[in-house]
Amino acid sequence: MTAAIATHRPKPPRCVTAMAAALLLAPIASSAQPGGLDPASLVAPLEDSWPTYSGDYSGRRYSKLAQVTTDNVQQLTLAWTRTLDSGMPALEGNNAPDFIGGEGTGDFTIGSQRIKGSILQVGDLLYVTAPDHVWALDVRDGGERWHYFWKTRGGPHIGNRGVAVWRDSVIFETVDNYLVSLDATTGEERWHTEIASFEEQYFSTMAPIVVGDHLLVGTGNDLDAPGFLQSFDPATGELQWKFYTVPMTEQDAGIETWPSLDAAMHGGGQVWVPGSYDPETNYYIFGTGNPTPGYTGVARRGDNLFTCTLIAVDVDTGEMAWYFQTSPHDTHDWDSAQTPILIDGVIDGVPRKLVSTAARNGYFFTIDRVTGEHLVTTRYGATSNWASHIRESGSPNPHPAKEAIIPGSLVSPVEGGVANWQPPAFSPDTGLFYTQENNGFNMLYLTDPDPRGSMGLGGKDRVTVGSGGNALSAIDYRTGETTWRHAWPVGGGGGAGVLTTAGGLVFTGDGSGNFVAFDAADGDLLWNTRIGNISNAPQTYLIDGRQHVLVAAGQQLFAFVMY
Amino acid sequence: MLQGAVTSRVVRGVGALTVAVGLLVTNVSGLGARPAAGLAAAQPPQTRDQRLYPALQREPGDPEVIARGQAVYGISCRACHGLDLRGGDLGGPNLLRSQLVLKDDGGDLMGPVIRDGQSGAGGSSMPPQNLSDADLDAVVEYIHDILGTASRQGGPPPGEEIELDILVGDATAGQTYFADRCASCHSPTGDLQGIGARVESPKELQDTWVRGGARNAERPPTTVTVTQPSGEPVSGTLERLNDFLVVLTEDDGRHRSFTRRGDTPRVEVDDPMAAHREMLPLYGDADIHNVTAYLVTLQ
């Protein structure tokens, strides 16, 4: 599907072999390079620093750092902690942000926001975001280097997933749909450009992803608007291409899965969360959000491509190479936008280039990431009850009785899903894919039986009635079977992402106020510290030769170190 | 059967829709007092520039112009776009989610389409409307006024609550199911006597029994017994439990907490709600509907 691909300048030359060759080099020290962070260094596997959303392009959140191990994690020590005020700042005076931008009035009353994104670590600075805020903090004590604040026009302030660093620029998305480029050293704004229509109720949360001289940018919307992924020139903010995730003309692929073009053009499929990038194929692989209207599928009968779909696009052209739909005709607001993980594995004795994803709908998938060939589908959400069967294609088939109905249907998972934006992790040492697994139940009622369907997320009432128990699950990518599973005590689970390391550890939150470490091989619980509920995914990097582990709990950052 | 239940109520839903639109008409005459649509009722009233959603930030128009616009809409637009602007039988698209309408500023985008017509998506087309400039402006104002009532996350403007009958179950089958699965803990002449009369609506009754009590109801306490390898068991009301800690209150009010390491100490939890949780994966929707139909008979 190639609707509205706009190339405003010659495509920059790109050399796949050069980038692939960089993979073979020792990890590139990304600190204090002249001209800032070289985008070519991002193909290196995650080790000393954390220069892009998932640490590296693979989405594995697996660090080669091994100072902290299953044997010594008990000695992990707090290095520093810092609380960031992510509410509305004073715009004048000593505590005012260093730089203030934005097209809004700056007088909205917006409460403090939890830190729900990745924190990039490049050189001596950490780059942290909350909606409308970016901070650069010293990596050794969390001290503030600069603070940039954006005066918003409005929109739902639900979270921000972090910045991208491109050379000496820090680039982020605002809720009211601007891409803003800052000087990475000073925090001064270089430029901002509008990436989606505020009036059409788009709003933006994603962390942009740098791939060479492309900046991949997703945005969101809950009002029956088409989803798209865009590529911008990270130097200038100029649009390079725009890939729509739903058909926008009668000729576009997938149109046969919608009752009409009007339904398709209002069909959603938003690009909420960063994907992963495969340098060998030059494919950016990402998931799309739910079709709209979210809960009333009556006016969009069909599979609704390419919503709730894993998609590979060529980064230079924005053209789709392959797709696999993880939730045909979703009617539960279960985006399939979670970050997929690239795995170089072996299936049936044959080395394969794979991508695995644990979807919000409770199903786990492994796909050949070169061809899009489906290999594995399993249910990992213990109580997920909405599918009638697995289709020959590998997609779970939705059962109509589990849609919102007037007398109520009992549906698991709840709206938030078995997993959500919180990143999973994969360890090549264990071959296991680690994800939170949430098994709530809703009674789901249709409240707007209008044959035209409702709009947006309207037309339903959902009532939470209990939980089948939450867990952290370790899934074998080859079979989709759960190798080990740690059931959280009643009330635990939920909102933390996952990190795994060559020290044989899995770090996450338990949903009961603890930051915890497991033995990655068998799920033995090795360590905890009670710092509050974790609100992002833990990260790790090397400072002064010491491994650090960084995590956010609400508005507070905690950096741990192994001495 | 469930799908049949939906279909049989469609006609009723459309009727209710008319009521909802009637409510919007009422709003037109009472513009100044209209609450901030979609914002939580508990929040203090916000000025328009304090609202986070673009359509809600717009200053309200002149009520007389809006009323005129509504009349013009009824004459020239309604047949295709529907009484409630959400699309009609003649194929006009839903205006409340139209990208062109959402981006319109004072008729700059809608005006030319209304005046000159256009070829629409999928081969549909809109004929030119022969309206005076004043009437065109009025209908644009009316459409923006309705957009300003949209709910926050892309829902339609809130209408009147539609009364839907959720009772589709078979009370006799529900009674049998109850006797098999529920009667070991509950009794229609004991704790559930008159439950059908005590709970406000069948829907609330259904949510309540599936959940195992009203949302904020006081529940019987979860008790716990903690046994150290060397020592007497300690029992009480469970306060907190995670993988590292168990906290309880003994009968005499004493606060006790114990560090947990794996299976030590031994922790035995007696949660009276566990049976309800364990039932969740086992219910069929028909079981739920049947039990609800039975429970409403307990008057």
Note the pLDDT tens digit of each residue in A439-460: 999 999 999 888 888 999 989 9
Residue B230 is predicted with a pLDDT of 86
> Which residues from A are below 8 Å from B213, CB to CB?
none
Q: Tell me whether residues B211 and A109 touch, CB distance under 8 A.
A: no
Residue B60 is predicted with a pLDDT of 85
Q: Tell me whether residues A262 and B162 touch, CB distance under 8 A.
A: no
Both B14 and B98 in a single domain?
A: yes
Residue A411 is predicted with a pLDDT of 98
> Which residues from A are below 8 Å from B52, CB to CB?
108, 154-157
Nearest to A454 among B155, B169, B240 (CB): B155
Q: Tell me whether residues B154 and A455 touch, CB distance under 8 A.
A: yes
> Which residues from A are below 8 Å from B6, CB to CB?
405-406, 446, 449
Q: Which amino acid is at B95?
A: L
A474: left (phi over 0), alpha (psi -120 to 50) or beta: beta
Cα separation, A215 vs A519, whole angstroms? 36
Both B10 and B140 in a single domain?
A: yes
Both B127 and B227 in a single domain?
A: no
Nearest to A443 among B12, B86, B210 (CB): B210
> Which residues from A are below 8 Å from B260, CB to CB?
none
User: A233 lies in which domain range?
Assistant: 16-561
ipTM exceeding the 0.85 mark: yes
Helix (H) or strand (E) holding A397: strand A396-398
Both B202 and B267 in a single domain?
A: no
In a domain, A3, yes or no: no
Both B196 and B262 in a single domain?
A: no
In a domain, B161, yes or no: no
Both B241 and B181 in a single domain?
A: no
In a domain, A293, yes or no: yes
Nearest CA-CA distance, residue B47 and chain A, Å: 10
| pLDDT tens over chain B, length 299 residues | 233 332 222 222 233 333 333 333 333 322 222 233 333 333 444 566 667 777 778 888 899 999 999 999 999 999 899 988 998 878 888 999 999 999 999 999 999 999 999 886 656 688 999 999 999 999 999 999 998 887 666 667 776 677 889 999 999 999 999 999 999 999 999 999 999 999 989 999 999 999 998 888 888 899 999 999 888 999 999 999 999 999 999 999 999 999 999 999 999 999 999 999 999 999 999 999 999 999 999 99
> Which residues from A are below 8 Å from B94, CB to CB?
224, 266, 452, 455
Say how many CA atoms lie within 13 Å of B169 toward its Cβ. Answer: 29
Low-confidence ranges of chain A (pLDDT < 70): 1-34
Mutate to test the interface with A, among B43, B57, B216, B285 (most CBs of A within 10 A): B285
Both B129 and B22 in a single domain?
A: yes
In a domain, B166, yes or no: no
Residue A49 is predicted with a pLDDT of 96
Q: What angle do CA B104, B105, B106 make, to 5 degrees?
A: 115
Residue B216 is predicted with a pLDDT of 81
Q: Tell me whether residues B276 and A466 touch, CB distance under 8 A.
A: yes
* 3 state DSSP class of A455: coil
- Which burial class, exposed, middle or buried, applies to A406 when counting CB atoms under 10 A from its CB (0-12, 13-18, 19+)? buried
Both B114 and B211 in a single domain?
A: no
User: B15 lies in which domain range?
Assistant: 2-147
Q: Residue A417's CB: how many other CB atoms inside 10 A?
A: 23
Number of domains in chain A: 1
Number of domains in chain B: 3
Are the C-beta atoms of A528 and A505 separated by less than 8 Å? Answer: no
DSSP string, chain B: -HHHHHHHTHHHHHHHHHHHHHHHHHHHHTGGG---TTS-TTSPP--GGG-SSHHHHSPP--HHHHHHHHHHHHHHTHHHH-TTSS--TT----GGG-HHHHH-STTTTHHHHHHH-EE-GGG-EE------HHHHHHHHHHHHHHHTT--TTSPPPP-PPP------S-HHHHHHHHHHHTTTT--TTTTTTTHHHHSSSHHHHHHHHHHTS-TT---PPPEEEEE-SSS--EEEEEEEE-SSEEEEE-TTS-EEEEE-BTTBSEEEEE-TTHHHHHHTTT--HHHHHHHHHHHTT--
Both B265 and B291 in a single domain?
A: no
Q: Which of B238, B244, B240, B261 is nearest to A514 (CA)?
A: B244
In a domain, B163, yes or no: no
In a domain, A302, yes or no: yes
Cα separation, A511 vs B107, whole angstroms? 50
- Token pair for B194: 């008159």
Residue A451 is predicted with a pLDDT of 86
Residue of chain A minimizing CA distance to B215: A465
Q: Tell me whether residues A445 and B156 touch, CB distance under 8 A.
A: no
In a domain, A11, yes or no: no
pTM for this prediction: 0.90
Both B135 and B20 in a single domain?
A: yes
- Token pair for B185: 């803990």
In a domain, B158, yes or no: no
> Which residues from B are below 8 Å from A222, CB to CB?
153-154
